[in-house]
Structure formats: C-alpha cells, structure tokens
C-alpha cells in the first residue's frame, strides 16, 4: 500500500471580506490569549514555592518553558496577521493581479493552519497548567486539614 501525502486545502472560496473577518477574529483571540498569559504568569508567581517542589518541578519547568514559547509565538502571529491585513488591499484594489491574489490567498491559508495549530497547543498548555495548579491546591488543602 502506498501512502499519499496530502496537504490540507481550504476548499471554500475566499473573498476579501471573509478573509478580513477571519483575520480580525484571529487578532481578537490572540490578544485575549496575551491577557490570559499574563494571568498565568501571575498564577505561576503565586504558586512558585509549590511549583518548585521536587515532585512538581520537572512538570512545572516544562509548563513554564512552553508558556514562554507560546507567548513568543503569539506575538509573532499577531505581527504576521497585522501585516497580512495591511496587504488585503491587493484583493480589493479592483485590479486583476491573479498571481498576487493567489499568493495572498495561499498566505491566508498558511496563517489559518498556523493559528489553528497554535490554538490547539495553547489549549493543551491551559489544561496542563490548570491541572498542576489544581493538584497543588488540593494537596495544600489536605495539609491544612491535617493537624
């Protein structure tokens, strides 16, 4: 059996308005995530002593490293989408620039894949971080209940 490698294709016909709306939505979500990341950093600072405890250290270290990496990736995506939005004029200038328009659509498709992949990684980080903090809070509560 021969395996055929396929790449995801954005089948739906994209017009300028739809791409603009999608880009604005991405920016909004990425900016919200940026605020959430600040919250996570505050949460990590609040539970620093428990996170550096020997039983949580390696997991916490990986989580913090991933948070930093995703924070940088978030800013890169925000910058890329802002540039992409500025280049939208290619689609609405009324000129028939087929190669440029096709390249713009291809760039939009690539951004779509990157943004979706980022959101998936970010959700994993949130789950991992909240699970770690939840476990710490449970153990702290048990310590207080025991005399």
Quote the pTM value. Answer: 0.80
State mean pLDDT over 66-83: 94
Per-residue pLDDT of 9-61, as tens digits, reads 544 566 888 888 999 999 999 999 999 999 999 988 888 888 887 677 878 88
User: What is the Cα–Cα distance from 141 to 57, expressed in whole angstroms?
Assistant: 19
> According to DSSP H, which parts of 3-97 are helical?
16-46, 48-51, 57-86, 89-92
Per-residue pLDDT of 87-123, as tens digits, reads 887 777 777 778 888 888 899 999 999 999 999 999 9
Give buried/exposed letters for 101-140 (b at 16+ CB in 10 A, else e): beebbeebbebbebbeebeeebeebeebbeebbeebeeee
Domain ranges of the chain: 16-145
Is residue 72 a contact partner of residue 37, using CB atoms and an 8 Å limit? Answer: no
């Amino acid at each position: 059996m021969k395996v055929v490698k396929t790449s995801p294709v954005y089948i739906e016909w994209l017009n300028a308005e739809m791409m603009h709306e999608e880009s604005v939505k991405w920016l909004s979500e990425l900016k919200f995530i940026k605020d959430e990341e600040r919250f996570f950093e505050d949460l990590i600072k609040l539970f620093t002593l428990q996170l550096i405890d020997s039983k949580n250290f390696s997991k916490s270290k990986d989580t913090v490293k991933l948070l930093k990496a995703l924070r940088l990736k978030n800013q890169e995506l925000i910058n890329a989408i802002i540039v992409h939005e500025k280049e939208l004029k290619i689609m609405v200038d009324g000129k028939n620039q087929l190669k440029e328009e096709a390249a713009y659509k291809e760039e939009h498709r690539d951004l779509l894949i990157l943004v979706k992949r980022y959101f998936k990684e970010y959700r994993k980080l949130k789950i991992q971080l909240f699970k770690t903090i939840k476990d710490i809070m449970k153990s702290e509560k048990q310590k207080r209940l025991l005399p």
